[in-house]
Amino acid sequence: MEMKLFDSELKVMEALWKEGDLTAGQLAKILKEQTGWNRNTTYTVIKKLIEKGAVERYEPNFTCRAVVTKECVRQGEATELIDKLFDGSAELFLSAYISGKKLSSDEIDGLRRIVEKLK
């Protein structure tokens, strides 16, 4: 299930992925500390995430649970980026990403293993 999440929505999702299920009040407190958001801002973002199907709400105390995984969101964001900037070419994306970077031998081995799995 791929979905587009905005930066504000990702902040709420990150808290849920890290901490697990949280009440809306707990989320508001965490995001106030991290971003300075007021309670209404957090509640608005939670509502949007519920409407998108990324978060579900249950009782007691308006408890929120992430419905989509971080991996699912990462996959969607990566696909969108590659489609938008690299005409859908993972090869062009990877080439642009690693050019000018100093990769460790462990990172190179990791990339090699990923490519081998794809064959």
Rounded Cα distance between 20 and 22, Å, is 6
Domain ranges of the chain: 7-70, 89-118
CA distance 10 to 48: 12
Predicted pLDDT of residue 40? 97
Average pLDDT over residues 41-52: 97
pTM: 0.81
Q: Give, as one character, the DSSP assignment of residue 25.
A: H
To the question of domain 7-70 being in CATH 1.10.10.10, the answer is: yes
CA 109 – CA 114 distance, rounded (Å): 9
Going from the C-alpha of 10 to that of each of 3, 18, 46, 60, the distances in angstroms are 11, 12, 10, 24
Section 11-29 average pLDDT:
97
Q: What is the pLDDT of residue 2?
A: 66
Per-residue pLDDT, 18: 97
Transcribe 70-102 into DSSP letters.
HHHHHHHHHHHHHHHHHTT-HHHHHHHHHTT--
User: What is the pLDDT at residue 97?
Assistant: 86
Confidence (pLDDT) at 101 = 84
Torsion of CA 5, 87, 92, 74, to 10 degrees: 20
The whole-number pLDDT of residue 1 equals: 59
Position 36 pLDDT exceeds 70: yes
Burial (Cβ within 10 Å: 0-12, 13-18, ≥19) of residue 18:
exposed
| pLDDT, averaged across the chain | 93
64 contacts 27 by C-beta, under 8 angstroms: yes
The model's pLDDT over 59-114, given as tens digits with 9 standing for 90+, comes to 999 999 999 999 999 998 999 999 999 999 988 998 898 887 888 999 989 989 99
